[in-house]
């Protein structure tokens, strides 16, 4: 299990704070209204801890997934997860849907993927700029399942960097969380970049 010092955790929090500010700005520009993103709490969890810390009430969640590769540094599968109800609120707010369908339609699902794409891209590009490296990524995909199903589906990763983020959109509280699944080598590469940037 990778242990991070307090200094490193502070640095990670600051890193995501900066990157998510850019994501919030990009998202606000898309939806045309102010979006508040809370400062995430960052921690590294192993698989069993991850399963217990995520919402475990069996609620259906929507996850927007993209893989990113920062050349010669780290590779990560980023997952932005919202509860189904919040996902419905987001897309209906943006698309103006009037039907209280219980399921997101295919078109709405794509819109949700774009929302996640904007946030994840903004986050990763901020990280890449901070690290002075290029980032290569995949297009977003939407996954549906419970939080443990979404987060623990990748059998290869034993440890995960978890950043919880809250959003406030049009007077509605929408809470979600962001996962950066990396193998041990990638976590090490990532923290090395953070150490270098912050002079740790």
Nearer of residues 69 and 146 to other proteins, judged by Cβ: 69
Kindly tell me which residue out of 107, 170, 184, 200 binds other proteins, with binding defined by CB under 8 A: 107
Q: Is 200 in the site for other proteins (CB under 8 A)?
A: no
Q: Is 134 in the site for other proteins (CB under 8 A)?
A: yes
Q: Is 136 in the site for other proteins (CB under 8 A)?
A: yes
* Residues β-bridged to residue 115: none
Q: Is 151 in the site for other proteins (CB under 8 A)?
A: no
CA distance 35 to 38: 10
Task: Report the SS3 class of residue 33.
Answer: coil
Smallest gap from residue 162 Cβ to other proteins (A): 23
CA distance 18 to 40: 11
Q: Using the rule CB under 8 A, give the single segment among 46-54, 127-135, 155-163, 168-176 that binds other proteins.
A: 127-135
Smallest gap from residue 165 Cβ to other proteins (A): 19
Q: Is 63 in the site for other proteins (CB under 8 A)?
A: no
Residues 6 or more apart from 117 whose CB is under 8 A from it?
64, 66, 139, 140
Q: Is 170 in the site for other proteins (CB under 8 A)?
A: no
Instruction: Mark 109-136 as b/e (b = at least 16 C-beta within 10 Å).
Output: bebbbebbbbbbbbbbbbbbebbeeebe
């Amino acid at each position: 299990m990778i242990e991070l010092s307090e200094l490193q955790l502070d640095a990670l929090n600051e890193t995501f704070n900066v990157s998510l500010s850019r994501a919030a700005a990009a998202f606000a520009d898309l939806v045309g209204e102010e979006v508040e993103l809370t400062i995430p709490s960052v921690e590294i969890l192993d698989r069993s801890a991850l399963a217990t810390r995520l919402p475990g009430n069996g609620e259906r969640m929507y996850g927007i997934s993209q893989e990113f590769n920062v050349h010669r540094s780290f590779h990560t599968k980023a997952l932005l997860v919202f509860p189904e109800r919040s996902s419905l609120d987001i897309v209906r707010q943006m698309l103006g849907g009037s039907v209280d369908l219980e399921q997101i339609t295919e078109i709405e699902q794509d819109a949700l993927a774009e929302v996640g794409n904007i946030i994840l891209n903004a986050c990763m590009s901020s990280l890449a700029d901070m690290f002075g490296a290029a980032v290569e990524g995949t297009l977003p995909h939407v996954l549906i399942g419970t939080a443990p199903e979404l987060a623990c589906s990748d059998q290869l990763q034993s440890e995960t960097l978890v950043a919880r983020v809250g959003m406030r959109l049009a007077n509605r509280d929408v809470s979600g969380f962001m996962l950066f699944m990396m193998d041990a080598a990638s976590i090490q590469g990532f923290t090395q970049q953070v150490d270098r940037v912050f002079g740790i």
